[in-house]
Structures are given as C-alpha cells and as structure tokens.
Amino acid sequence: MHSRRAELSRRGVLGLSAGALLSGCLPGRHRADRPLPPDPDLVVTASVRTDELALVAAYDAAIDTFPALAPTLAPMRQHHQDHLAALPPDARSGSPRAVQRATTSDQAAVLRSLVAAERAAAATRIADCLSASVRLAPLLASIGASEAAHASVLAGVGRFR
C-alpha cells in the first residue's frame, strides 16, 4: 500500500508538471501581460537613420557656409545619403531635419566639427554592431568604416587648409 501511495504521488506530480508545461506553451498565454520588446534592429536602424540625417545636415550647412569646400565635402555627404538608402525600409520613414548654416565663420572649426561628428558616428556604429542581427551588422560595419574614413580625410583637409 505504501508503494501504491508513492506511485499516486508521483503520478500527481507528473500530471501537474505536464499541465503546467503545456499551459505555458499554449499560444497567446501570458503575451497580453507583457508587451513584446522592440526589435533590436528597428531600434538600431532608427538611431543610424537619425545620425545619418544629422551628418547630411552638417555637411549641407558646411557647404552652404563654405562653398569652396563643396568638392571635398559633397562626396562625403553623398555617402551619407547612400547609407540612408541602404537601411531597411522601415528605418527610412520620416523627413530630414531642416538645414542650418554653420554657426561659425571659421572654416577650420567647421572641419573639426565634422571630424568629431564622423568619429562619434563611427564609434556608435561599432557599438551598434554588437546589438544588431547577423543580417544588419555587416551594413553597420560598412557605414562605420565609411564614417571613420571620412574623419581621417577631413582631419587631413583641415591640416592643409
């Protein structure tokens, strides 16, 4: 009789365990209690989009203030436009920021500002690669490499002007 009682207890525990497991596997269970976290790629691409729009605006302002820099800056500005076009479609929604003139008449200061913005963007892209999916990380790495190259070129331009 003792072994029969132990068998019933084991069956009861197993039955309760199976019921608990199955109830947790049913579709729709517990999802309404917690909202799903945002897709990390959507968060990253929205951030990249914001940064790229800011860089385009910075280049527009620099070119508007210093037209003689246009041959150097316009290709880099176009690269940022290309980065925007390469982002997944849901990251491209919205409109670009309004372009403002550079706030200084010091060309070297504007170039230093662009170098700093490019370096910051490149560093952010490296960090973004760590939270992005395997599909998105190569694009982010490529964008970051482009931004790092821009910073190097601009730093050189600033030395020779």
149 in helix, strand or coil?
helix
Give me the chain's average pLDDT, please. 81
- Domains (range + CATH), the chain: 40-160 (1.20.1260.10)
- The pLDDT value given to residue 37: 77
pLDDT confidence of 35, banded at 50, 70, 90?
confident
| Higher local confidence (pLDDT), 143 or 17 | 143
Predicted TM-score (pTM) of the model is: 0.71
Q: Do residues 11 and 102 make contact, with C-beta atoms less than 8 angstroms apart?
A: no
Q: Of the ranges 28-37, 59-68, 113-122, 133-142, which one carries the lowest mean pLDDT score?
A: 28-37
Nearest CA to 147 out of 39, 59, 67 is that of 59
- The pLDDT value given to residue 21: 47
- The pLDDT value given to residue 93: 52
- 160 vs 71: CA distance, rounded Å: 15
Residues 3-24 have a mean pLDDT of 53
- 7 vs 41: CA distance, rounded Å: 51
